[in-house]
């Protein structure tokens, strides 16, 4: 019996060709909708109370930012507190209401 060499086959490539790998389509994440937390004019509470409460409820507000929000609400009827995702916006709005301030949410346009 004669043994014949077994031919091994390697993947062939056409001249200069490279193996193509199919890439999965990239998923584009839509940013989550953002909401405005609004402070409404408050004829009952003092300006100092409003500023202090804003700073307690929204720690990212500086003293100057809180004063600006309070003055905007005082002068125009409504002031923009912060724009953020829905969950923290709901928290800020409800906490402000719980402390006696009038607040609402509105989708950012």
Residue-wise pLDDT for 21-39, tens only, equals: 676 667 778 888 999 999 9
Could you tell me the two tokens for 29? 């994440």
The pTM of the full predicted model, rounded to 2 decimals, is 0.72
Q: Is residue 61 a contact partner of residue 108, using CB atoms and an 8 Å limit? A: no
* pLDDT band at 102; cut points 50, 70, 90: very high
What backbone phi and psi angles, to 5 degrees, belong to 12?
Answer: -95, 145
As a whole number, mean pLDDT of residues 86-107 equals 97
pLDDT: which is higher, 13 or 54: 54
d(CA 100, CA 46): 11
What's the chain's Rg over C-alpha atoms?
Answer: 31
77: left (phi over 0), alpha (psi -120 to 50) or beta: left
pLDDT score, position 16: 60
Q: How many CA atoms lie within 13 A of 64 on its CB side?
A: 0
């Amino acid at each position: 019996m004669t043994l014949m060499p077994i031919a091994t086959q390697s993947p062939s490539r056409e001249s200069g060709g490279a193996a193509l790998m199919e890439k999965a389509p990239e998923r584009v994440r839509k940013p989550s909708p953002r909401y405005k937390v609004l402070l409404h004019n408050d004829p009952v509470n003092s300006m100092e109370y409003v500023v202090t409460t804003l700073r307690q409820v929204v720690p990212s507000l500086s003293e100057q930012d809180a004063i600006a929000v309070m003055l905007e609400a005082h002068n125009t009827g409504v002031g923009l507190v912060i724009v953020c995702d829905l969950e923290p916006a709901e928290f800020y709005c409800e906490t402000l209401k719980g402390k006696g301030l009038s607040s609402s949410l509105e989708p950012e346009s």
